[in-house]
Amino acid sequence: MEEDEIKLDAELIQLVTFSIAEEEFGVDILAVQEIIRTMDITKVPRAPVFVEGVINLRGKVIPIVDLRSKFGLETREHDQSTRIIVIEITDMIIGFVVDSVSEVLRIPANTIEPPPPVVSGLESEYISGVGKLEDRLLILLDLNRLLSDDEQEQLAQV
Amino acid sequence: MSQDFLDPEIFADFIIEAKEHLETIEPNLLELENNPDNLDILNEIFRPMHSLKGASGFLGLNIINGLAHKAENVLDELRKGEIGVTSEIMDVILLATDDLRRLIDNLHESGSEGEVDTSIVIDRIEAIMAGETPEPEIAVESADEVEPEPEVEGTEPVLDSVEYFEEHELSEVEMVQEPNSPESSDRKQSYQFVAIVNTEEEPYKLTTVGEGHLADFLEEAHEIIENLTRGLLELEQDPEGDEELINDIFRYFHNLKGNSGIIGFRELNSLTHEAETLLNKVRKGEAKATHIMIDLLLAVVDGIESLIAHVTPSTGEVQPLDIAQLVDPLQDAVERGEVLPVHGNSAEDEEQPEQAEAEVEEDAESGVAEDGLDPEDVAIFEQTVRQQLDNISLALTTLDEDSSQKDYIDGLFRSLVSIQNSAGYMGFDDLKEYGERTAGLVDQARITDMDFGMMLDLLRQECGIIEEMIDAAVAELKGGDGDSDSNQEAEVKVAPKVEEAPAPKPVAKPAPKVEAKPAPKVEAKPAPKVEAKPAPKVEAKPAPKVEDKSAPKVEAKPSPKPKAAPAPAKPVATSALKPAGGAPAPKANKPKAMTTIRVDHQKLDHLMNLIGELIISRGRYTMLARGLEEGHLEVPVVAQQLTETTYALSRISDDLQDTIMKVRMVAVQTVFSRFPRLVRDLSRKSNKRVELITEGEDTELDKSVVEEIGDPLVHLIRNSVDHGLEPEEERLANGKTPEGHVWLRAYHKGNSVAIEVEDDGRGIDPEKMRNIAVKKGVISADEARNLDDREAIELIFAPGFSSAEKVTDISGRGVGMDVVRNNIKDLKGSVHITSEVGKGSKFTLTLPLTLAIIDALMVQVNGANYAIPLDAVSETTKIEAERLTEVNNRKVVTLRGEVLGIAELAELLEQPVSDPNRDVLPVVIIHDNVRRLGLVVDKLLERQEIVIKPLGQFLNRFDLRGVSGATIMGDGSVVLILDPHEVYSMATVKGSLQS
């Protein structure tokens, strides 16, 4: 029993944290391929609103998803601190637009709690957990669910 | 299981080769059907089938191997003229090739053979080999389903079977023996039945009442055999378990015994009697159903099958077989109440598989390659193992430097398993076992994550031994003198492993092993040399069969024939290793079959030259840059040289592109070749006589396109035969030839390739299409009225649409044609129909030569650039806005006397129109086959060659109609590529929906 706890204590997870509309989020660093500054985005006609368009990432065309509009928040112009987090999920490479990227954090796995039903208006289905830091909360995003959700939406439309 | 560990390269090669083999086999089979006497064609079929069998056996692909082996047997019989070519036999062989293809496809896609039930085909092949009429009912039955009037065709099968019987009578007597499917089962059986004709006994007649009686008996016997096999396999899963099951099996034997008694089938009667007795004991609990017993019983079933196969149905004569090999162990088992492992003493040595005997004898005596091993196999074997040895030594060297290199550990493991498989196939059981052991060692180390450094010494020694064994094995295969020596050596070398075998488990102590090795080597050598030849295999056998693993090994060592040991020992060994290796190993090694392409050497040379030039150009740029920096070159000179170099560079890159494209091109022949078969089958099924005429098979297309057009073409051809062509009477009534025609053509059309499927059938009636579409709710009545005839015919592509009044098993379920269109669309191509009622229909697929690079026209709409494939652009023009008129809610303009629909591209793309009140509209006229549409854009830009990039999986989830991909411009920006075909349909949908 004691051993277990010690082991859990030792288990640190590394997260890339970023902020969207005053809220701080984290994703597993292993999923993050790179973080790039925003660039010219080619709009894709007839795509859902949260798809901002496509960019050229070293010869590869990758789609860009605006997390603000995905979360139903007000969109805003890109600025100096806007970043695109390029993430590889289930063989897809997708760029997510965030307001800013803060830091890389190591937090013990046992400080992460299951998500409460509603976190700051964001539906908890996208959230895999909430990490408690000393002075604030960190929302851990479940990117897989975030994307598979689109599919269902799409199906519902058809 | 074993294919999980194959070397991916060999694996990929196998798949390519296998596909090629099947491709040669099929057309030749069809040809053979027309020229049954042509021995050359038969040989053309036999050879690839044989190679396929060989290669699959090599890789441990048991299902493929078993099936190919069976097919080869039939072909061999045909070749020898012992049975005649009939369409039934062709059917069965074609079925076998189908199964093989499916298996290979599975391999290709998932890396394993997958679940294909080959037993039906194998049964039918066996039936043919046995001289039975292979159920012609199938053909007749399905014909009945499809068409009620099979008068003309219906007689054919009957004729065939009569002919078949005649030929068959002649051949039956000559059919002396055939091994009864030992390879077809992927289980390792310790008991096997080999059909040996008992020459001392004359064939005798069964006491049947007429042929019907015999036929009934045979039919029932086959049924019982099937049930028995199934029951026994089930029992094997749970030997203790089901009493009911044992009762069933008992009853089957009992029934068969009764039946065979009635007709006086002595051998069968006594065999089933013994089996029944044994099972009765099991039933009463006096004996236990062990795995060995089940093996024996399965061998009995094989025996029964073989006995029945030697009954000549037409005469009722039976060729007696030697059944003592089964009866004896059965009696023995009854006496003891248990089945003993395959023994070498007393009468039981007869039950050794004959192959093993042959093998052993030949090893010892002549050294000639064993039977069934042709020089080709030997060459492949040698090549494979040598390659693996190289891999191993590379892996070991690398690991020596850095023992944590997981890749190399995996590679090492794979190589060992490959050696194991190859050796197993070639019958080098000792080598196989050794490879397996060493592989197991690596596997365990791999799983337990131990430091590999500690094992390297050990492994190096192990691999050294393997290498020596391989040398010996190869020497043996190649014949030559002293081979029996090397043979012995090989066997003796096995000895050390015996002691190591238990050791690898605790893995981490290499020390004792090192000591152990030299000793036995030296000692063992002289002894067996002397004893080897006189002492036959008989002695070797008893030990290994015992369940316990380590103990018997030690005993086996001194005996000269460890050869026989591995087979029975194998299940034990694997089961010991597998659980440990279990989950993680297969995952890590799942071979994702590569697709490869064969390239003409000259093309490669040319590419090499171009690369050379490319490097020279690069050097020139560096030089020019330095010249500028250092200022010793005048700017105008540099500028001029820059221009020149850029020209050179563009020439090189064009040439590169061309050459690479050519490398990727393959003739559509590869796809077309499967259709004669398809049409033949369809024609038989639907009872229509159909002739397929193919043209332009050598037209070349990008490999990726060729790979994808197969399925759509299958749909189209099915559609033509099933729906397009009328039944014969109807054709005659309409003054057509009784035989329907389907044309399959490929030809170049500008920068693309067109493939046509045309039939001379009844054609598509637009009025009928409208009615059905409305009835099925595909469109509303209003919409239907608005469609012109061409659009009405295109309704055939609507999802859920099927105009067939009845669904046949060929087509008519309304899923085909929309799939066709989607597939073609994915290939950036389009489908187009022309049809005339009563005359026929023609489907034209237009496909791009290559998927990668296209010419495109760039246009600007609402500030963004788009690329329109130039293939689809017929012209660009400017039109004064005032010339536009509205017809039926669509904007049109009369251009050179032709009415042309006009649409705002911005509107179609759901973008705001930047300037709705322009006076002059730049228009791109696109064409989707013969239909044309003018697209209003903001600005016409230049024409450009673009590289197509996919939009990716994520965006494909959304309905992005009108956009087919993206490309990257020189400045790094992304430009979307429009799909003219979709743009056109979006424009018309918009038009008709507004109305």
Q: Exposed, middle or buried: residue B794 (CB in 10 Å: 0-12, 13-18, 19+)? A: buried
Q: Does pLDDT of B892 surpass 60?
A: yes
Query: Which pLDDT value is given to residue B521?
Result: 38
What would the mean pLDDT of B132-156 be, rounded to a whole number?
39
Looking up tokens 């601190």, which residue turns up?
Answer: A81
Q: Does pLDDT of B582 surpass 60?
A: no
Query: Which pLDDT value is given to residue A64?
Result: 93
Within 8 A of B907 by CB-CB distance, chain A residues are none
Q: Does pLDDT of B223 surpass 70?
A: yes
Greater confidence, B461 or B655?
B655
Convert B36-75 to b/e letters by CB count within 10 Å (16 or more is b): beeeebbebbbbbbbbbbbbbbbbbbbbbbbbbbbbbbbb
Q: Exposed, middle or buried: residue A126 (CB in 10 Å: 0-12, 13-18, 19+)? A: buried
Query: Which pLDDT value is given to residue B923?
Result: 92
Q: Which residues touch A104 (CB under 8 Å, ≥6 apart)?
A: A14, A15, A16, A17, A29
Q: What pTM does this model have?
A: 0.45
B516 at A interface, C-beta within 8 A? no
Q: Does pLDDT of B365 surpass 50?
A: no
Question: Residue B539: pLDDT band by 50, 70, 90 thresholds?
Answer: very low
Query: Which pLDDT value is given to residue B970?
Result: 79
ipTM beyond cut 0.95? no
Question: Residue B532: pLDDT band by 50, 70, 90 thresholds?
Answer: very low
A29 at B interface, C-beta within 8 A? no
Question: Residue B198: pLDDT band by 50, 70, 90 thresholds?
Answer: low
Q: What's the one-letter identity of residue B701?
A: L
Q: Helix, strand or coil for residue B368?
A: coil
Query: CA B452, CA A120: separation in Å to the nearest integer?
Result: 52
Q: Would strands A118-119 and B890-895 be described as parallel, antiparallel, or unpaired?
A: unpaired
Asked whether the beta carbons of A124 and A116 are under 8 A apart, the reply is: yes
Greater confidence, B171 or B372?
B372
Q: Does pLDDT of B645 surpass 70?
A: yes
Within 13 Å of residue B750, how many CA atoms lie on the same side as its CB?
13
Interchain pair B966, A42: CB under 8 A: yes
CA distances from A38 to A66, A75, A97, B954, B972 (A): 12, 15, 8, 20, 14
What would the mean pLDDT of A34-58 be, rounded to a whole number?
89
List, in sequence order, every residue forming a beta bridge with A34; answer none if it has no partner: A86
Superfamily of domain A2-157: CheA-289, Domain 4 (2.40.50.180)
CA closest to B954 among chain A residues = A92
Query: Which pLDDT value is given to residue B251?
Result: 81
Closest by alpha carbon to B841, among B803, B880, B879? B803
Q: Would strands B853-861 and B864-869 be described as parallel, antiparallel, or unpaired?
A: antiparallel
Question: Residue B850: pLDDT band by 50, 70, 90 thresholds?
Answer: low
Query: Which pLDDT value is given to residue B744?
Result: 92
Q: Does pLDDT of B870 surpass 60?
A: yes
Greater confidence, B894 or B320?
B894
Binning chain B into helix, strand and coil, the percentages to the nearest 5 are 60, 15, 25
Interchain pair B976, A44: CB under 8 A: yes
Interchain pair A46, B954: CB under 8 A: no
**Tally of CB atoms within 10 A around B789:** 14
Lowest mean pLDDT among B15-24, B191-200, B461-470, B855-864: B191-200
Quick: pLDDT tens for A117-150. Answer: 665 555 666 788 888 877 888 888 888 777 776 5
Query: CA B483, CA B464: separation in Å to the nearest integer?
Result: 20
Question: Residue B859: pLDDT band by 50, 70, 90 thresholds?
Answer: very high
What would the mean pLDDT of B959-971 be, rounded to a whole number?
84
Instruction: Select the residue of A45, A55, A157 nearest B974 (Cβ to Cβ).
Output: A55
Asked whether the beta carbons of B663 and B603 are under 8 A apart, the reply is: yes
Query: Which pLDDT value is given to residue B743?
Result: 92
Q: Does pLDDT of B858 surpass 90?
A: yes
Greater confidence, B22 or B463?
B22
CA closest to A95 among chain B residues = B954
Greater confidence, B507 or B811?
B811
Query: Which pLDDT value is given to residue A53?
Result: 92
Mutate to test the interface with A, among B861, B958, B982, B989 (most CBs of A within 10 A): B958
Query: Which pLDDT value is given to residue B727?
Result: 86
Instruction: Select the residue of B911, B958, B966 nearest A54 (Cβ to Cβ).
Output: B966
Within 8 A of B966 by CB-CB distance, chain A residues are 42, 54, 61
Most confident of B165-174, B247-256, B448-457, B815-824: B247-256
Query: Which pLDDT value is given to residue B374?
Result: 60
**Percent of chain B whose predicted confidence (pLDDT) is above 90:** 5
Query: Which pLDDT value is given to residue B801?
Result: 67
Greater confidence, B555 or B42?
B42
Q: Does pLDDT of A63 surpass 90?
A: yes
Mutate to test the interface with B, among A39, A40, A49, A54 (most CBs of B within 10 A): A54
Q: Does pLDDT of B202 surpass 80?
A: no
Within 8 A of B977 by CB-CB distance, chain A residues are none
Q: Does pLDDT of B549 surpass 80?
A: no
- How far from the centroid of its chain's Cα atoms is residue B372's Cα? 24
List, in sequence order, every residue forming a beta bridge with B846; answer none if it has no partner: B754, B830
Greater confidence, B469 or B529?
B469
- Chain B, window 909-968: residues with a beta carbon less than 8 angstroms from a chain A beta carbon: 909-911, 949-955, 957-963, 966, 968
What would the mean pLDDT of B432-448 be, rounded to a whole number?
72
Query: Which pLDDT value is given to residue B527?
Result: 37
Asked whether the beta carbons of B272 and B257 are under 8 A apart, the reply is: yes
Quick: pLDDT tens for B734-775. Answer: 888 888 899 999 988 766 788 999 998 888 888 888 888 787
Q: Would strands B898-904 and B931-936 be described as parallel, antiparallel, or unpaired?
A: parallel
Quick: pLDDT tens for B263-286. Answer: 778 788 888 888 888 878 877 777
* CA-based nearest distance B404→chain A, Å: 22
Greater confidence, B978 or B237?
B978
Question: Residue B119: pLDDT band by 50, 70, 90 thresholds?
Answer: confident
Quick: pLDDT tens for B599-643. Answer: 778 888 999 999 999 999 999 999 888 888 888 778 888 888 889
Lowest mean pLDDT among A26-40, B684-698, B788-802: B788-802
Convert B586-597 to b/e letters by CB count within 10 Å (16 or more is b): beebebebeeee
Lowest mean pLDDT among B550-564, B649-663, B728-742: B550-564
What would the mean pLDDT of B360-372 be, rounded to a whole number?
40
Looking up tokens 């009872």, which residue turns up?
Answer: B687
Quick: pLDDT tens for A78-126. Answer: 888 899 999 988 778 899 999 999 888 888 888 888 777 665 555 666 7
Quick: pLDDT tens for B702-718. Answer: 888 888 888 888 888 88
Query: Which pLDDT value is given to residue B212?
Result: 66
Query: Which pLDDT value is given to residue B160?
Result: 37
Within 8 A of B959 by CB-CB distance, chain A residues are 46, 154, 157-158
What would the mean pLDDT of B52-67 be, rounded to a whole number?
81
Closest by alpha carbon to B905, among B949, B857, B947? B857
Query: Which pLDDT value is given to residue B7?
Result: 67
Query: Which pLDDT value is given to residue B135?
Result: 44
Query: CA B140, CA B98: separation in Å to the nearest integer?
Result: 20
Interchain pair B974, A54: CB under 8 A: yes
CA closest to A153 among chain B residues = B958
Average pLDDT over all residues of chain B: 70
Query: CA B348, CA B342: separation in Å to the nearest integer?
Result: 7
Query: Which pLDDT value is given to residue B995?
Result: 36
* CA-based nearest distance A134→chain B, Å: 37
Q: Helix, strand or coil for residue A106?
A: strand
Interchain pair B958, A154: CB under 8 A: yes
Question: Residue A153: pLDDT band by 50, 70, 90 thresholds?
Answer: low
Instruction: Select the residue of A44, A61, A150 nearest B960 (Cβ to Cβ).
Output: A44
Query: Which pLDDT value is given to residue A96?
Result: 92
What would the mean pLDDT of B155-169 be, rounded to a whole number?
36
Question: Residue B857: pLDDT band by 50, 70, 90 thresholds?
Answer: very high
B369 at A interface, C-beta within 8 A? no
